[in-house]
Structure 1
Amino acid sequence: MIEKFLLGTYTKRESEGIYEIALDTDKKELTDLTLLTKESGPTYLAKSVAGNVYTVTSIDGKGGVTAYDPSFNQLNSVTAEGASPCYVAIDEPRQLVYGANYHKGEITVYKINEDGSLTLTDSVVHTEEVGPHENQDHAHAHYSDLTPDQRLVACDLGTDRVYTYDVSTEGKLTLVSTYKAEPGTGPRHITFHPTKPIAYLFGELDSTVTVLSYDETTGAFAQQQKLSTLPEDYTAFNGGAAIRVSKDGRFVYASNRGHNSIAVFEVAENGQLTLVQRIATEGDIPRDFNFNQSEDFLICAHQNSDNLTLFSRDADTGKLTLEQKDVFAPECVCVALA
């Protein structure tokens, strides 16, 4: 079986934009890297049910989001002065797109028009005090996506906070709850258990996963457990990156940039975690990874070494096995199902 994946990239060196790559699940290999469209700095992207693709963009000193139709004809770009966002997500029920801007500490909301193009509907800038880490010089929004009950949750690395918003059908945000992580955590990404009222927060700055309970009544989070993704004796640089939970809710995966590994955790009945594997990613700075549809495989993208690594995944143990490495993909930082 052939499955296609979209690759988002930086375009500072060799990359020219958005790429596609094929996974042959029978041969257990990645093949046929193809440039789909030239784009400036499409570091994160998402594909809608209608087949449109929404990607981060940077144009002449302005940053924002560009919309493409299924054939990669550009529909429009919505940009503003300054840096581009670092994350983009789609809200299918309300037909909205969300962005998180690291440099501005800003969450943006866009309406998907009938033709698939975008219109800005709201933006929120975080102004709370920041954490103690040297990288927490001001607010740094890093993630904005939906909770299981269709609120918007946003992670801010600078303020050590996770914000929960109600979202109107018109794309307006109303803050309903704020969770404050331990100082210096640097919240980067969060993912939710598919059946339990539990979320897993990845701290970029202290390389930890925090297990949080989630109260759908109030939109509030509360800490249940916190554990490192690194070996105890590791003292060199590391930054937490991507975190994902398997569809069956049994395992959580988190990538380490610097240690260059993926940590695999087993999920207990109460949602808490136990480390079962830490495996080298065979590249430098594993910025993102994703499963294929059946979750029998995991594709890991490396920002600095310009390569993808393919792992097979054991659904019973959660453990990964290396199948292929050194697959060229320039400056790749996002892996999305096509």
Structure 2
Amino acid sequence: MQETFLLGTYTKKSSKGIYTVQLDTETSTLSEVQVMIAESGPTYLAQSLNGVVYTVSANNGNGGVAAYSPDGSRLNIVAEEGAAPCYVAVDETRQLVYGANYHKGEVTVYKIEHDGTLTLADRIVHEEPLGPHENQNHAHVHYADLTPDYRLAVCDLGTDSVYTYDVSEQGTLTLVARYQAEPGTGPRHLAFHPNGRIAYLFGELDSTLTTLAYHQETGTFTKQQKISTLPADYQAFNGGAAVRVTKDGQFVYASNRGHNSLAVYQIHVDGQLSLVEIVPSNGEIPRDFNFNQSEDFLLCAHQDSDNLVLFSRDAKSGKLTVVQNDVVAPECVCVTQKKA
């Protein structure tokens, strides 16, 4: 079976934009990476069910979100002076796109028009107190995506907070709750368990996973557990990156930039985690990774060593085995399954 992944990248060196790579699940091999869309700085992207690609765009001092048709033609871009977002997500139910802007400390909402183009609907700038880490010099929104009950959850690395917003049909945001993480956590990404009642928060600055209970009645999070994603004896630099939960709700995976590894955890009945293994990612700065459709494989992208690594995954134990590590993908920082 052939499955296609989309790859978002920086374009500071040799990268041309958004790439595709195919996985042959029968031979356990990745094909050569191909350019799909020429775009400047498409570091994160998401796809609608009809195949429209919504991507970060950074060009000539302007940043925003661009829309591309399934054949790679640009539909439009909504951009303004300043840094681009670092995360985008699609809301199919309300036909919205969400953006998280790290440098501006803001959440943006865009309306998807009938032709797939975008118009700005709302924006929120965070102004809460900052954490103690040197990288918490400003609000730094790093993630904005849907909760299982269709609220918007937002991670802010600078304010050590996870915000929960109600979203109107027009895309207007209303704050309903804020979870305050421990000082210096640096909330980066959030991944929900399939049961919709548990989420796993990756702290970029302290390299931890926090198990959070999500209360749909109020939109609030409460801490259940917090554990490191690093070996106990590791003291050098690390920055947490991506976190994913398997569809069967049995395992959590997290990538470590610096230690250059993937941490694997088993999920217990109460939602808490126990370590299965920490394995080398076989590259430098594993910024993102994702599973194929059956979750028999995991594809990991490395920002600094420009390579993709394909792992096979044992569904019973959760353990990973390298099967390919020599596929060139320049400056890759986002991996997502292609929908159409």
TM-score by length of 1: 0.99
Provide the C-alpha distance between the structure 1 equivalents of 2:163 and 2:326, rounded to a whole number of angstroms.
38
Corresponding residue number in structure 2 for 1:80 = 80
* Structure 2 unaligned blocks of 5 or more: none
> Displacement of 1:122 after TM fit?
0.2
Please say if residues 164 and 175 of structure 1, whose CA atoms lie closer than 8 Å, have aligned partners that are also in contact: yes
Question: 1:61 maps to what in 2?
Answer: 61
CA distance in 2, matches of 1:138, 1:129: 9
Instruction: Look up the equivalent residue of 2:53 and give its one-letter code.
Output: V
Runs of 4+ in 1 over 4 A off after TM superposition: none
Task: Give the Cα–Cα distance (whole angstroms) in 2 for the partners of residues 59 and 322 of structure 1.
Answer: 36
Q: Distance in 2 between matches of 1:305 and 1:206?
A: 24
Task: Please tell me whether the aligned partners of residues 32 and 327 of structure 2 are also in contact (alpha carbons under 8 angstroms).
Answer: no
- Give the drift of 1:326: 2.1
1-side partners of 2:124 and 2:152: how far apart? 12
Give SS of 1:206's match. coil
Give runs of aligned pairs for residues 113-152 of structure 1, distance below 5 A: 113-152=113-152
**What's the counterpart of residue 177 of structure 1?**
177
Compute the displacement of 1:80 (Å).
1.3
Aligned to 1:104: 104
| Structure 1 CA distance for aligned equivalents of residues 94 and 206 of structure 2 | 35
Distance 1:107-1:292 versus aligned 2 partners, 3 A rule = same
Alignment of 1:272-291 (within 5 A): 272-291=272-291
Counterparts of 1:185-334 in structure 2, within 5 Å, are 185-334=185-334
For the residue of structure 2 that corresponds to 1:32, the secondary structure is coil
Identical pairs, percent:
67
SS of residue paired to 2:32: strand
Q: Tell me how far apart the structure 1 counterparts of residues 129 and 4 of structure 2 sit (CA, whole Å).
A: 43
Per-residue deviation, 1:32:
2.5
In the alignment, which residue of structure 1 is the partner of 2:159? 159
Deviation at 1:37, TM superposition (A): 1.6
What letter corresponds to residue 275 of structure 2 in structure 1? L
Tell me if structure 2 keeps the 8 A contact 1:164–1:177.
yes
Deviation at 1:177, TM superposition (A): 0.1
- For the aligned residue pairs, the C-alpha RMSD in angstroms reads 0.5
- Comparing 282-291 with 55-64, greater Cα deviation is found at 55-64
Match of 1:90 in 2: 90
Tell me how many residue pairs correspond in the alignment.
338
Matched residue SS, 2:13: coil
Where structure 1 has 5 or more consecutive residues not aligned to the other structure, the ranges are none
Do residues 336 (structure 1) and 333 (structure 2) align?
no
The whole-number CA distance in structure 2 between the counterparts of 1:13 and 1:46 is 23
CA contact (8 A) 1:42 1:55 kept: yes
Structure 2: distance between partners of 1:249 and 1:39: 35
Contact 1:196 1:271 in 2 (8 A): no
Find the aligned partners of 2:114 and 2:252 in 1 and give their Cα distance: 37
Partner in structure 2 of residue 22 of structure 1? 22
Distance 1:278 1:327 in 2: 22
1:125-175: CA deviations, max 9, x gaps? Answer: 000010000000010000000000000000000000000000000000000
| Cα distance change, pair 38–196 in 1 and its aligned pair in 2 (3 A) | closer
Deviation at 1:297, TM superposition (A): 0.3
TM-score by length of 2: 0.99
Shift of 1:59: 2.1
8 A Cα contact 1:303 1:331, kept in partner: yes
Partner of 2:33: 33
2:3 maps to: 3
Per-residue deviation, residues 174-210 of structure 1 (Å, max 9, x unmatched)? 0000000000000000010001511000000000000
Give, in whole Å, the separation in 1 of the partners of 2:195 and 2:216.
13
How far apart, in 2, do the equivalents of 1:229 and 1:131 lie?
21
CA contact (8 A) 1:102 1:140 kept: yes
SS of the counterpart of 1:295? coil
Equivalent position SS for 2:33: strand
* Cα distance in 2 between the residues matched to 1:301 and 1:164: 30
